[in-house]
Structure 1
Amino acid sequence: MPAEAEQRDATSLPDEPQTPWRTYDITSTIALGKVSGKTRIWLPLALYKDTPWQRSLGHGWQGNFASAGIYRDPVAELVVFYADWNVDTTAPQLQITSQVAKRDRHFDITRRGSAAERSDVLRRCLQSSNLVPTDGLVRRTAERAVGRIKDPVAQGKAIYDWVVENTSYDPSRPGVGRGDIEAMLDSGHLSGKSADISLLFVGLCRSIGIPARPIFGQRIDSSRLFAGLGATGNLSTAQQCRAEFYTPGYGWIPVNPADVRKAIDEEHLSSSDPKLIVLRKLLFGFWEMNWVAFNTAQDVSLRGSNGHALPFLALPQVETAAGRFDSLDTSRFSYTVNASRVEG
């Protein structure tokens, strides 16, 4: 194992120049059982737009499907693979391999001059959605969190701090959580997994006029920070949601409050623990490269589907003439994901 993969303590993560690119092959293998009639599957893929921290290098697939392909929704920055099986296929099978290049993402508050984002993108990142309302209790909570702070970067930091201090990571939630932030605030139980925590951050930002968006994705490697913030082996349940917010002059600033809460839960960190103090500071403005970003889409309508819209797309979705599968039903749905580093 490379030396950097052995480093698991956030307090000793070195100050380094920009990390080099690291390339991964990510292979998803799916087999379906107990299907009848025509069948279709949808699978989220890596962002198709290159960024300073992620590049999609291509996809290849094989299986016993009748047809397959990729469609893109540039508005939602959503890339989806789909495959169709005919009525006489009793055991649909699929394997798709994506190659993605990754490196750490850093925000430097001493540097301004980032290119301005398009106004239509910023407008979308201020809108409410089914799970992310921006009025009422959400707005009042955000206003209390920022107080009299006027600087947008400092406001984002105040909301990040509020989310870290007031939420808890709940590993009992299936998948990546439901992300219903109004219900969370109304109940007073601010617990959940990464989607819940990240969408809470996004909603609070949007409610006071700060453009923000969730980034749904998947862990693909071990972590240099804490063991629980990485994943190896079968990655089929390693989905994770991060977030970012926009400020003029700096552009999009990455945050990861969900992993702060995950580390607190799994490492039993007290509020005064030096490891937590460093991690909390680090994950405002830093994304570790051991994660691939899929999309920012919310309220997703799958192309060709007869079913209802999804709050977000992070897991494969299967639909037959009888309706949509439960993606977590292992009796009908076999799903494995493996990632390997590409040398050279």
Structure 2
Amino acid sequence: MKRRRFLAATAIFSLLASTPAVAVNKVAARKPAVRTAPKTTARPGQKLAYKNNARKSPAKPLAAGSEAQPVRTALTLPEEPPEQWRTYEITSQISVQKVRGRVRVWLPLAQYKDSVWQRSLGHRWDGNFETAGIYRDPTAEMEVFVAEWKEGVANPQLRMVSQVATQDRHFDITRRNVAAERTAVLRSCLQPLNGVSEEALRHLAERAVGRVKDPVAQGKAIYDWVVDNTVRDPLGSGCGSGNVAAMIEGGRFSGRSADIALLFVGLCRSIGMPARPVFGLRVDSSRLFSSLGRNGELAQAQHCRAEFYAPGYGWIPVDPSDVRTAIAEEHLGPADAKLAVLRKLLFGFWEMNWIGFNAAQDVSLRDAFGDTPLPRGAGASLPFLVYPQAESADGRFSSLDGDRLGYRVATRRING
């Protein structure tokens, strides 16, 4: 790809930059109004591991307007972030109904590892749970809040308040001295997708890249192929199931954001290029198209993006599914100039009206509890973890089952 095309894209990015904002405020500690569970932090290299944080006295129900002790969860960047940073406060409320026995809930949190586009500023929580804690998987850069209620609690409930700062993410072709990623991470991002024919993916990827050898240009060729050959499924729920095998076998590349992002990831991996999905939540309106943002109730605002790795450049962000969303929702035709600009923009750019949660795939919730017995059906792994999950004596269910797991999310911008 020619240098001037990337420089032109960089010029577009600068036009989309947000107005200057004041520096991100630190989360100030407050005296908790209710008892809260302390943060549990895993040692480096430790998988999700359960730690008993049982209370000595019974937990009190969630009180209106009450707040709990904030907990610093992220590695620290410089105290004065760039002016483009925006700070969001995300409030998640969970309630469980119509279940039997003990209840557990898993709530994915924002990525704890600071980057130049996202910083986790901390969490505070309260509720009528018996035990709770935060569990970390460093390989997937994933943190999960896990709470447990004893049998007989009439209305299990939890409130989590998180603060996260973001700024738009740009890929700069002129910077080629990025520190190399850890070998273990790159190796995990080359693993074949579960249940998908590697031969079929490789055939498609080789057809997309042709004789191109440069890793950045290969990623762009695969991105273009995915944009040209996929369709957004208007009837799908959430961000999809991530079932790339069904897309390959059926020959119809239709799906939601997780399906399209994982197709891109699988194609990259099939030709030896590390790639990974990044699951998260839209938290604000978009400056590009209204269909690429969300306001108000965010319980169904999950969205999946992707990134691939090029030596010297590091991780390069892409979002082919948002191109397909804009085509479908904004009625953009092939000759529309807005579409041409958007598809160039979303190779190497993430508008950070979205909070990244994790890049985990084939998530086993059993790992979070060691040998603790689980009810029937709860031991199977999940393709990814972006929705809250719960389990009881009746089995496992997610927030997509609104009759049993009530889930509400609201956000407000603090500054920026």
Tell me the TM-score range normalised by the shorter chain: over 0.9
1:116 aligns with 2:117: no
Q: 1:134 to 1:123 in 2, by over 3 A?
A: farther
Q: Please tell me whether the aligned partners of residues 17 and 168 of structure 2 are also in contact (alpha carbons under 8 angstroms).
A: no
Q: Determine the structure 1 residue equivalent to 2:15.
A: 14
Q: 1:12 to 1:314 in 2, by over 3 A?
A: closer
Q: Secondary structure at the match of 1:165?
A: helix
Q: Please tell me whether the aligned partners of residues 399 and 406 of structure 2 are also in contact (alpha carbons under 8 angstroms).
A: no
CA distance in 2, matches of 1:40, 1:88: 13
Q: Determine the structure 2 residue equivalent to 1:60.
A: 124
Give the unaligned 5+ runs of structure 1: 1-10
CA distance in 2, matches of 1:331, 1:156: 42
1:343 Cα deviation after fit? 3.1
1:50-85 CA-partner distances (Å, limit 9, x unpaired): 011000011011111111110001122111001100
Q: 1:287 aligns with which of 329, 350, 357?
A: 350
Structure 1, 106-115 or 227-236: larger mean CA deviation = 106-115
Q: Secondary structure at the match of 1:325?
A: strand
| Paired amino acid for 1:163 | V
Q: 1:213 aligns with which of 265, 276, 279?
A: 276
1:250-300 CA-partner distances (Å, limit 9, x unpaired): 100000000000000001111110000000000000000100000000000
| Paired amino acid for 1:175 | G
Question: What TM-score comes out, normalization by structure 2 length?
Answer: 0.78
CA distance in 1, matches of 2:193, 2:144: 21
Aligned pairs for 1:150-165 (under 5 A) are 150-165=213-228
Q: Please tell me whether the aligned partners of residues 108 and 143 of structure 2 are also in contact (alpha carbons under 8 angstroms).
A: yes
CA distance in 1, matches of 2:311, 2:401: 45
Q: Percent identity?
A: 63
- Greater Rg over alpha carbons, structure: 2
1:16 Cα deviation after fit? 4.5
1:83-118 CA-partner distances (Å, limit 9, x unpaired): 100101021111101110100000011221111111
1:159-187 CA-partner distances (Å, limit 9, x unpaired): 00000000011131112111121220221
Q: 1:101 aligns with which of 165, 182, 188?
A: 165
Shift >6 Å, 4+ stretches: none
Q: Determine the structure 2 residue equivalent to 1:7.
A: none
1:71 aligns with 2:143: no
Q: Determine the structure 2 residue equivalent to 1:315.
A: 387
RCO greater where, 1 or 2, for CA within 8 Å and sep 6 or more? 1
Q: Please tell me whether the aligned partners of residues 35 and 91 of structure 1 are also in contact (alpha carbons under 8 angstroms).
A: no
- Structure with the higher fraction of residues in strand conformation: 1
Give the unaligned 5+ runs of structure 2: 1-11, 19-81
CA distance in 2, matches of 1:19, 1:170: 37
| Paired amino acid for 1:92 | P
CA distance in 2, matches of 1:314, 1:300: 11
Q: How many residues align?
A: 333
Q: Determine the structure 2 residue equivalent to 1:8.
A: none
CA distance in 2, matches of 1:13, 1:279: 14
Q: 1:87 aligns with which of 148, 151, 175?
A: 151
1:307 Cα deviation after fit? 2.4
